[in-house]
Structure 1
Amino acid sequence: MSDSVASILSQIRSYQHQLGTRTLEPVQNPNAVQFGQPAIKAPNFGETLQNALQGVNDAQKTAGALSQAFELGDPRADLARVMVAAQQSQVAFRATVEVRNRLVQAYQDVMNMPL
């Protein structure tokens, strides 16, 4: 199970990196920078978590659609693709549940700390 947690954490880091590199651009001429412009917003934990959950949801939808297409006899949906998609969505969901459990445990630990 630790491999799946590591996988979801690497996905979260990947989303953070993608969001961070997309919004930042190098300054071509430092003298032309105007200080009245709004600051660039850095990705926060909530957005990163929401993107990761959206990825899990997309994986489950894809697995469901492939499964339904296979049941209807679509030649593009072979059994191997259906099984791989189902396993991917199952692993992603289990990893999400593990991350949630760890977050809840961390929250409970913080709440139980003496002042």
Structure 2
Amino acid sequence: MAIQPLSIIRPATGQMTIESGVQPTPYEAQQSFGNFLKAAMNDVNKKQIESDKMTQKLVLGGDVELHDVMIAAQKASIALNATMEVRNKVVEAYQEIIRMPV
């Protein structure tokens, strides 16, 4: 069994970098970050839906292997846990900023 490369991780599209000499406006940066978060949430949702479908097929006696169902469930679980950890860090950073004296 060959190990597949991480093709899921791809650079965000439409980003302007400092190396190119063009800095995005705050609005563009906000939109880019928002689009990135939306894409990440959609990816987590797809993994959850795929896991649910494979589990349903297994329960109904469909043509699916148990190990494939378990792998899909673990992928969905890891994606959700990573998303929750990122959310926790963002909330923690926000709370830290709020506590800063002006």
TM-score by length of 1: 0.65
Q: CA deviation at 1:107?
A: 0.5
CA distance, structure 2, for counterparts of residue 90 and residue 113 of structure 1:
35
The runs of 5 or more residues in structure 2 that have no matched partner are 1-7, 16-27
Q: Kindly indicate whether structure 1 or structure 2 has the higher relative contact order, using CA contacts under 8 Å at least 6 residues apart.
A: 1
Change (3 A) 1:107 1:94: same
Q: CA deviation at 1:112?
A: 0.6
- Structure 1 letter corresponding to 2:93: A
TM-score by length of 2: 0.73
2:48 equivalent in structure 1 = 60
CA distance, structure 2, for counterparts of residue 15 and residue 62 of structure 1:
24
**Alignment of 1:100 onto 2:96:** no
Higher helix share: 1
Seq. identity, %: 38
CA distance, structure 1, for counterparts of residue 11 and residue 85 of structure 2:
19
Q: CA deviation at 1:52?
A: 0.1
Change (3 A) 1:15 1:60: farther
2:20 equivalent in structure 1 = none
Q: CA deviation at 1:20?
A: 2.8
Say how many residue pairs are matched.
82
